[in-house]
Structure 1
Amino acid sequence: MLVSTQWLKDYVDFTMDADTLAHRLTMAGLEVEAVERPYAFLQQVVVARVDAVEPHPNADKLRLCQVFDGSRVRQVVCGAPNVASGQVVPLALPGAVLPSGQKLAKAKIRGQVSEGMLCSQRELLLGDDASGIWVLDPALPLGKTLLEALDLDDAILDVSITPNRGDCLSMIGVAREVAALSGTRVRYPEISLDETGPSIHEAASVTLEDPLGCPRYAARLIRGVRIGPSPRWMQRRLEAAGIRSINNVVDVTNFVMLEMGQPLHAFDYERLREGRIVVRRAQAGERFSTLDGVERTLFDDTLLICDGVGPVAIAGIMGGLDSEITEGTTQVLIESAYFQPERIRRSSRKLGLRTESSYRFERGIDPEGVPRALDRAAQLMLQLAGGVLATGAIDQYPSPLERPTISLRVPRVNRFLGLDLDAATMAKVLESIEMHVEQADSETLRVTPPSCRHDVTREVDLAEEVVRLVGYDQVPVTHAAAPLYADPPDPHASLRLQVKQALTALGFDEVVTYSFISEKGVKDLGLPEGDARLRPVRLRNPLSEEQAVMRTSLLPGMLTTARHNFDRGNLDLRLFELSKVFLPRPDQSLPQEDHHLAGLLAGRRVPHLLYGSEETVDYADAKGAVEAVLECFHLGSDTVRFSLEPLPPYCDPAVGAAVLVEDHLVGSVGRVDPDVQDAFDLKRDAYYFELDFEELFRLKRPHPGFSPLPKFPAVARDMALIVTDDLPVAAPLDFIRSLNEPLVEQVDVFDLYRGKQLGEGRKSVGYRLVYRAPDRNLTDEEVNALHQRITEKVLSAFQAQLR
């Protein structure tokens, strides 16, 4: 809202300059975005008198004027046809910058010196006349700047009003704030009316068919008005607020709206059919032409102002073409009403029509100010347009709106604000903004806000009023006294982070896929009927069929990501995701949310142009990644077993293994089954691993303690077995470990060989056993005997032969 400080002084006294006032208002909650001085350029324009006018010797249409500026005579070249000796005129001196951007300087025009410029009204933005120079009142003092002589020394504050402060969308509303800040009182306009005409009830009536949408409607009637231009003082007030002057009657309605915050409307009474007003809802699809000449289709919740036959205005938004004020208007019905804010806001947005009236109505006006604004408008119209005011006023107010009475507990407000104010100080602050305050007891005030303050309904609202008027800078700065406390790290989250770091160190990239997948993606894994993963939780409103169910496995998203990369030429992949899956629970609507880990490998093992090779990843790479993950849980070879059973259907049985920890299935690793690769349209082999993070977290071991370095040397013995080709390499390995021989420190595979000399369907596997005693040196005889005993047991268990 644009606020003229000069206009503001009509209602409140203050000594602050415009910049200080802007700061004080901003600190009180009314943000002033800018301070403009629209007539500052008039400091270089003075009141002068034309003493003589002579023809220009070198131009037929120019004249040489001798102009007295109050201190000396200046020669000015002028082309205005109306310039004459003895006139008092505005003289722009050299150095002045006019609103057009023209900067004046002493210059020669057709060989004659010109020391300034005689100006028209339009050149100074003080009127529309551009036909000649502006002839001023001869009583104005010569030499005075036009800024002082015409009392135009004004500053315009651009105030940003928040949606809850509709009471400040008026000059008097802002004056209330200024009065509270400066310790003065508001001067309200004195209103007196001379009702000399017949009773208004003999000529007009108002019917409220929708009292909820229009709780109050008031009207007055003036006959014999004369439509004409408004006086200059009113035009300047409207221009300062950014509103164009139209005529004296319409200007009065805009002036009172800006002054009191109450939008008004003036009807040409003679064009109101049957001389009555009906307030009703529009019918859906009903059409109406507004003042801007647009025919609009209305909605069934749009509030209409109608005469005895049809609509004449959209309530609170805009009037209609059929009842507007024209040059021939002689009888005016003035409307002043209170409309439900929500109704006006909704209608304004639906119709795409925002006006100064709707801007105020939708924020809430003062319902008790309706008759006061009506009387003020009638007073000004009688002054500016003449006429006879009908006796009385129509005021339909069937259900008066009640104002709340709020209890303010002084100690609580002080605790809330961090202040130490007594009840008397709080009462004085609230009374400065026209709230009615009574003392209930020594620590409680009973406060009734004025009818214009719809935003004050609770004790906390009163606390806000107190602190903003006392000053936010009066709130002491305090520091929190609470001790700092940090929750211990979540072991589950810490372990997830450790696993991610381990895989990242191995060259993997983390991906994040959608929790919503297609049902087809789950079925494409080839899961058997009855598998719980085939019963995913379905979304009620999925974005698409590709995101219709919640994932029960991370693999569909991982394989889809691989296809996306393969299709775009990114063939070397090491991806992982550690996230939740959503598994159905019997007889429960919500799923079980468990963390799973999935990884995928494809392409070259070392994809480096200079140091890499064309070797591709294989099962060993995927298994190595799994072993690195298991090390994060402190699960080593003594508890982990890779088995051919039970393999999931999406794992290639020729190249894969189930991962077991202490005989608990925790996942699988291997090559993606060819059928599953085809289902996901993967154009090359891919290896995967999938682990149940929750099960691994349950089975994790504590961090191993420190073990001293061995003092005695180890002794190694090799065992090369010839076995059938279908025997897993891990089977003898696990068997040896299961013997739990105390002197066996470590067992590893060191060789794998297939050849013609071994025969078809046979292979040679070399195992290295490391023996060590913690308290002595082992002798060869002791090691050989133990190694022989273990070898015999292995040969017997697996029908193997020594190579």
Structure 2
Amino acid sequence: MTISYNWLSEYLPRTIEPEALSKILTAIGLEVESLEAYESIKGGLKGVVIGEVLTCEQHPNADKLKVTTVNVGAEVPLQVVCGAANVAAGQKVAVATVGTTIFPVTGDPLTMKVAKIRGVESHGMICAEDEIGVGTSHDGIMVLPDTAIPGQPAADFFSPYSDWIYEIGLTPNRMDAMSHLGVAKDVCAYLTHHEQETKAVLPFAQHFVADNNSLPIKVKVENQQACPRFTGLTISGITVQESPAWLKNRLIAIGQRPINNIVDITNYILHETGQPLHAYDTAAITNGEVVVKNMAEGSSFITLDEKERKLSSEDLMVCNSTEGMCIAGVFGGIKSGVSNTTKNIFLESAWFHPVSVRKTSLRHGLRTEAATRFEKGVDISNCAEVLKRAALLIKEVAGGQISSEVTDLYPQPQPRKEVSVKYHYIKKLSGKNYHPENVKRILKALGFEVAKEDIDELTVVVPYSKPDISIPADIVEEIIRIDGLDNIDIPTSITISPAVEQLGMKEALKDKIAGYLVGLGFVEILTNSITNSKYFSEDVLSGTVKMINNLSAELDVLRPSMLETGLETIAYNLNRKNQHLQLFEFGKTYATSGAGEYTEAERLCIYLTGQAHETGWREKPGSFDIYYGKGIAKAVVQLSGIATVAFEPSGTDTNVLNIFAGKQIIGTVAEVDKKNAAAFDIRQTVVFIDIDYAALVKAVRKQKIVYQEVSKFPAMQRDLAMVVNTNTTYAAIEAVVQKLKISRLQDMRLFDVFESDKLGAGKKSMAISFTFVDEEKTLTDKEADSMMAKLIQGLEKELGAEIRK
């Protein structure tokens, strides 16, 4: 939330210095994230003075330069060399004197020094508009009116606007502070509590009278649930033009772009009071009737940004007698907007239901200032007063007459909420003992009314401007804020009962796996469970959980897979030249089989891309591939306590391997399809390991912990190279070896794969290292040879292997 100090100060009964006001705002929960000086003309024209050109002669050494003498109010005129073609004697000009720093519209700041230009000294510069920031023209020097006085500071002549701008970190519940007047009321409540009773200076007119009733507009609200209150009036004979300087300065200072005086007033009122307004050209209101209703599903509507939108039957519209004019509370239509030819307007100030506005805003991807406020809940009691305030301001800046009485349709006034809070609860929640009189003083200053009071309980009526107040804790928060968050007592000691919480096996396993992966150089990530439906096919989306009230058009489903959110993270890093990534994430995926049938699954996902290790003079570059992924997956599963881990292709796709813990599939290892990766603008190989964490935990629970004493006898290692068919996998060799049941075989490891035409077509060589150990004695060569012979015989028989000698 951006707040102007000058603007805010108009509603405060006394002047408070910007820094002091900043401290007050932060103390009452409106945290000031930054406080910066604002200048409509950078530098504030300091050092720039009004001058009068006394003489203008040709430069003796340059055809395009002139030597001038300029009266700047000093005893001796300045000699200034000028290159502008339009400079002439008798002109009033803006002069940047020596030592002055000017800030051009484009380019870097420039500090004036005495300079010798082609042999002639120059003491300053006669300026063009863009050179000092008062305009954008660079067509020669700026010639000022004859009324300008030589020696007068340029700041006095141009009157640049200066201000202090607060950036407030507003919490989502604080709709009441989304305006200058709302912030001022909080400040006055603070002053009332800490100094003396203070009230905000309200800008609303005490006596409002329409000029005539020559342009009445009939209003009909068909959907009163979505629009409980609608007020409006007409103003005739206006002149749409550029806004006056004071209005433009106010808006520009808080980051708003001025458009014309009518639109600027509606924006001004929005940021002043928090109430959105909308102005319609009455020429678009056919038959003199405005109807607030829902239109047919699929109706076409062109908004102010010239985009055609298909309406939902749930979208509330403000219409004329034949078509829509505005998406209520969200965005106006191009046909009814105020233009330079508009002479009469209908001004609307309404209250639209927050849920209706939010759904419509998200449905069409229109996150406007008005929608942001309506969806949080504006002050329904203020609609008519704000309307009158706006109408009088429009008369002031655009002329015209108020040509109708105020139409105020409010058939079922909303009741004000009542909340009860006990004084001992305030003490319990805040940690501070507040006197009842102080509690009532604070709440009354904030607009609450005392409905009932007894010894230990206070019941208050909540103002319409605070829609977030509904429970006793909200009342306590208001009291703490206005008293000052810095005033909460901090105890000198804290008494606690120590407790030791044993992590369950599932959580302990997570810590164990995470620690292992981090030790290998992995980084843990946390991605959004809500993602974009465009990533998935229609088949996948048929079983995907869709958001009813999604935060944005891009975040509309709960993820059915964690691959896509991981690829988003990888793409983000690759775009920032972080190309070698080892990432892992514990998260959940979601699915549905119908209304009310929802499931969520815990996953452990690992992502690998780029080089597997840094290259050096002894290290050759090696990229992550599916084999590296198999190794990581196997290590993680074995770390969990499962000794037997196997991999098999998933169907016919050799780039996707199922991970088996015993006979149970617990996940997959895959190289991400290039088309999928390209959708995220990823051009390098990505390896994705997806483990069903619940299945892994279930498999781990089935394991029995068996301790085996470390053998005190040495192991014996033998290597075996064999020629097999190209399609023979290492898993097939493992299966044959396991079938032979050689009890003293401790380990086997593939250490070389070789393919060559010399081996024959469709053949490859695989070299495997076997490790044998006997728990009771030292193995002999004869025993090792016997076991190797058994292995050779089995491999030759089962796989047709040819042993290489």
Tell me if both proteins adopt one fold, taking TM over 0.5 as the criterion: yes
1:442-591 residue pairs with structure 2 within 5 A?
442-478=455-491, 479-486=493-500, 559-561=644-646
Residues 749 and 158 of structure 1: is their aligned pair in 2 closer, same or farther, counting only changes over 3 Å? closer
Task: Tell me what 2:803 maps to.
Answer: none
Equivalent position to 1:369, from 382, 385, 397: 382
d(CA) in 2 for partners of 1:472, 1:223: 50
Residues 229 and 65 of structure 1: is their aligned pair in 2 closer, same or farther, counting only changes over 3 Å? farther
d(CA) in 1 for partners of 2:36, 2:325: 39
Task: Tell me what 2:444 maps to.
Answer: 431
Alignment check: 8 A CA contact 2:81 2:125 kept: yes
d(CA) in 1 for partners of 2:237, 2:778: 118
Alignment check: 8 A CA contact 2:239 2:343 kept: yes
* Residues 1:160 and 2:266 are matched in the alignment: no
Return the offset for 1:750.
Answer: 8.7
Equivalent position to 1:105, from 107, 112, 136: 112
SS of equivalent residue, structure 1 residue 321: coil
Task: Tell me what 2:201 maps to.
Answer: 187
Return the offset for 1:137.
Answer: 9.9
Instruction: Summarize deviations over 1:419-468 as a string: whole Å, max 9, x none.
Output: 01101111222223222235612332222232111111111011111112
SS of equivalent residue, structure 1 residue 229: coil
1:682-721 residue pairs with structure 2 within 5 A?
none
Partner amino acid, structure 2, of 1:34: S
SS of equivalent residue, structure 1 residue 198: coil
d(CA) in 2 for partners of 1:46, 1:316: 48
Task: Tell me what 2:53 maps to.
Answer: 52
Equivalent position to 2:70, from 48, 57, 66: 66
Equivalent position to 2:717, from 613, 621, 625: 613
SS of equivalent residue, structure 1 residue 309: coil
Answer with 1 or 2: which has the greater Rg: 1
Partner amino acid, structure 1, of 2:56: P
Task: Tell me what 2:545 maps to.
Answer: none
SS of equivalent residue, structure 1 residue 36: strand
Return the offset for 1:684.
Answer: 9.4
d(CA) in 2 for partners of 1:180, 1:80: 60
Deviates more, 1:446-455 or 1:136-145: 136-145
Deviates more, 1:71-80 or 1:451-460: 71-80
Task: Tell me what 1:36 maps to.
Answer: 36
Residues 111 and 27 of structure 1: is their aligned pair in 2 closer, same or farther, counting only changes over 3 Å? farther
Residues 652 and 51 of structure 1: is their aligned pair in 2 closer, same or farther, counting only changes over 3 Å? closer
d(CA) in 1 for partners of 2:96, 2:778: 109
Task: Tell me what 1:171 maps to.
Answer: 180
Task: Tell me what 1:587 maps to.
Answer: none
Return the offset for 1:598.
Answer: 6.1
Equivalent position to 1:196, from 178, 186, 211: 211
Return the offset for 1:330.
Answer: 1.0
Alignment check: 8 A CA contact 2:49 2:97 kept: no
d(CA) in 2 for partners of 1:54, 1:24: 56
Task: Tell me what 1:116 maps to.
Answer: 124
Partner amino acid, structure 1, of 2:55: E
Alignment check: 8 A CA contact 2:12 2:188 kept: yes
**CA root-mean-square deviation:** 4.9
Residues 484 and 381 of structure 1: is their aligned pair in 2 closer, same or farther, counting only changes over 3 Å? same
1:584-663 residue pairs with structure 2 within 5 A?
595-597=701-703, 613-614=717-718
Partner amino acid, structure 2, of 1:362: E
Structure 1 segments unaligned to the other structure (5+ residues): 505-537, 548-552, 569-574, 581-590, 617-649, 658-668, 673-681, 688-747, 756-803
Instruction: Summarize deviations over 1:641-685 as a string: whole Å, max 9, x none.
Output: xxxxxxxxx99697789xxxxxxxxxxx9999xxxxxxxxx9999
Task: Tell me what 1:390 maps to.
Answer: 403
Alignment check: 8 A CA contact 1:171 1:258 kept: yes
Return the offset for 1:374.
Answer: 0.8
Partner amino acid, structure 2, of 1:255: Y
* Residues 1:241 and 2:254 are matched in the alignment: yes
d(CA) in 2 for partners of 1:115, 1:401: 70
d(CA) in 2 for partners of 1:337, 1:90: 52
Return the offset for 1:481.
Answer: 1.4
Return the offset for 1:77.
Answer: 4.3
Alignment check: 8 A CA contact 1:50 1:65 kept: no
d(CA) in 2 for partners of 1:439, 1:214: 32
Return the offset for 1:68.
Answer: 1.7
SS of equivalent residue, structure 1 residue 430: helix
* Residues 1:22 and 2:22 are matched in the alignment: yes
1:733-772 residue pairs with structure 2 within 5 A?
none
d(CA) in 1 for partners of 2:448, 2:157: 39
Partner amino acid, structure 1, of 2:480: V
Return the offset for 1:269.
Answer: 0.4
* Residues 1:3 and 2:107 are matched in the alignment: no
Deviates more, 1:303-312 or 1:162-171: 162-171
Task: Tell me what 2:331 maps to.
Answer: 318
Residues 493 and 293 of structure 1: is their aligned pair in 2 closer, same or farther, counting only changes over 3 Å? closer
1:110-149 residue pairs with structure 2 within 5 A?
110-119=118-127, 122-126=130-134, 133=142, 135=144, 138=147, 144=153, 146=155
Residues 140 and 276 of structure 1: is their aligned pair in 2 closer, same or farther, counting only changes over 3 Å? farther
Return the offset for 1:417.
Answer: 0.7
TM-score with structure 1 setting the length: 0.61
Task: Tell me what 2:366 maps to.
Answer: 353
Alignment check: 8 A CA contact 2:352 2:374 kept: yes
Instruction: Summarize deviations over 1:167-186 as a string: whole Å, max 9, x none.
Output: 22211112222323344421
1:256-271 residue pairs with structure 2 within 5 A?
256-271=269-284
SS of equivalent residue, structure 1 residue 197: coil
d(CA) in 1 for partners of 2:467, 2:292: 24
Equivalent position to 2:290, from 267, 277, 280: 277
Task: Tell me what 2:791 maps to.
Answer: none
Partner amino acid, structure 1, of 2:436: A
Return the offset for 1:146.
Answer: 1.8
1:268-307 residue pairs with structure 2 within 5 A?
268-307=281-320
Alignment check: 8 A CA contact 2:91 2:143 kept: no
SS of equivalent residue, structure 2 residue 412: coil
Task: Tell me what 2:674 maps to.
Answer: none
Residues 327 and 141 of structure 1: is their aligned pair in 2 closer, same or farther, counting only changes over 3 Å? same
Number of equivalenced pairs: 571
Return the offset for 1:594.
Answer: 9.0
Q: Percent identity?
A: 27
